[in-house]
Amino acid sequence: MTTLTINGKTLEVHAAPDTPLLWVLRDHLGMSGTKFGCGAGLCGACTVHLEGTPVRSCRIPLAAAQGARITTIEGIAADRVGAAVQAAWDRIDVPQCGYCQSGQVMAATALLARNPKPTDADIDAALVGNICRCGTYARIRAAIHGAAKSLEA
């Protein structure tokens, strides 16, 4: 049995230590907001925060997540920055198909937590590897700038 802290709650999981965190979240805990995209850590759809750092949950074994603070898209709104990012996403109507958006929101939240006034170059660098097949990158960037502005108030 493995003990995890996810979105501020302590949970017990029965899974092999080498099970990817993504499958633990989705299959064992029913948290389907984190998406499977490529399984190789290349697309960003499975991004979660591990101790505040965005990571690809498809590449993190359960054993490596034990004892760490994990935040998923289901818990990001409890964070002031995460709530601002989600509100900006809604205001600007960022998603088209929406599949990549949980990973995009997680990456954007981590960026604004460490850099409250990012430039376009900062945003591009922070979201590299978070692929949006619909090409909503301009709206994603606008939402990040909008969230940053709302956090200034």
From 71, 105, 132, give the residue that closes a domain.
71
pLDDT for residue 106: 98
pLDDT value at 114 more than 90: yes
82 and 47 in a common domain: no
Neighbours of 110 (CB within 10 A): 23
Query: How far apart, in whole angstroms, are the C-alpha atoms of residue 23 and residue 21?
Result: 5
Total number of domains in the chain:
2
From 71, 106, 129, give the residue that closes a domain.
71
46 and 14 in a common domain: yes
115 and 51 in a common domain: no
Q: Which two tokens stand for residue 59?
A: 């590449």
pLDDT value at 153 more than 80: no
User: Of 146, 2, 15, whose CA–CA distance to 87 is shortest?
Assistant: 146
98 and 138 in a common domain: yes
CATH number of the domain enclosing 44: 3.10.20.30
Query: How far apart, in whole angstroms, are the C-alpha atoms of residue 7 and residue 11?
Result: 10
91 and 45 in a common domain: no
pLDDT value at 24 more than 80: yes
- pLDDT tens-digit profile of 75-94? 999 999 999 999 999 999 99
Q: What is the pTM of this model?
A: 0.95
148 and 83 in a common domain: yes
130 and 114 in a common domain: yes
Share of the chain above pLDDT 90, in %: 98
19 and 35 in a common domain: yes
92 and 52 in a common domain: no
83 and 53 in a common domain: no
The upper half-sphere exposure of residue 5, i.e. CA atoms within 13 Å in the direction of its Cβ, equals: 7
148 and 121 in a common domain: yes
Confidence of residue 61 (pLDDT cuts 50, 70, 90): very high
**Structural domain range at position 121:** 76-152
84 and 139 in a common domain: yes
How much is the average pLDDT of 16-31? 98
